Amino acid sequence: MSGSKVLNHSVWSNRSRAILYAAAALSLLAALIHLWVVPEHFEEWRGYGTFFLAVAIAQGFYSVVLLRWPRQLVFYLGIGGNLAIIVLYIVTRTVGIPLFGPHAGEVEEVGVVDLCAAMSELALAIALGVLVMLPLGLSRERVIMVLLILGLIIIFVGHLLHLMLSVSPAH
């Protein structure tokens, strides 16, 4: 049962607890943002509203699960789920809404609120990645290198999103 291994309490330094609490707060932030936009998405189509409501509930529930049962499996599920939401966000802003609903195929505009949700999900995935690495006993230099690479990824994604915001869609 290595996937659901409970982290040893000796691993939980003040820094790792702070990362865990920050991850839970980021998940709750993303949940609240998604909950905030539920009404406007229900106005567009019941399916869109239901999707955003389900994501908000899942992210809110995840923040509690993360604090209550901090296990490797929970971290991996959070990474996978939030990266899937980020990928869907990028697809809807570049290729178009996939498959369903009255706006299927239409490219959504990038907005400040949805960028905040995407950035909190990305930061959450990174924080969870750090928590996954803690029990591996990685050297300080290796952790710094991984964090540097993750920082570069964040800068790249941020720049990509900035470019998406600055290019107005041609209608």
Q: Is 1 inside a domain boundary?
A: no
Residue 4 lies inside a defined structural domain of this protein: no
Supply the pLDDT for residue 167: 61
Q: For residue 115, is it within any domain? A: yes
Segment 103-126 shows an average pLDDT of 92
Confidence of residue 95 (pLDDT cuts 50, 70, 90): confident
Minimum mean pLDDT range among 54-63, 103-112, 143-152: 143-152
How confident is the prediction for the chain on average, in pLDDT? 85
- Asked whether residue 73 is domain-assigned, the answer is yes
User: Which residue segment(s) compose the domain that 33 sits in?
Assistant: 12-166
Q: Say if residues 59 and 31 touch (Cβ distance below 8 Å).
A: yes
Q: How many domains does the chain divide into? A: 1
**Does some domain include residue 7?**
no
Q: Domain for residue 42, yes or no?
A: yes
Q: Quick check: is 5 in a domain?
A: no
Q: Which residues contact 53 (CB under 8 A, 6 or more apart)?
A: 34, 35, 38
- So what's the pLDDT on residue 137? 67
pLDDT of residue 64: 98
What does the pLDDT read at residue 3? 47
Question: How far is the C-alpha of 150 from the C-alpha of 157, rounded, in Å?
Answer: 10
Residue 30 lies in a domain: yes
Residue 12's pLDDT is 64
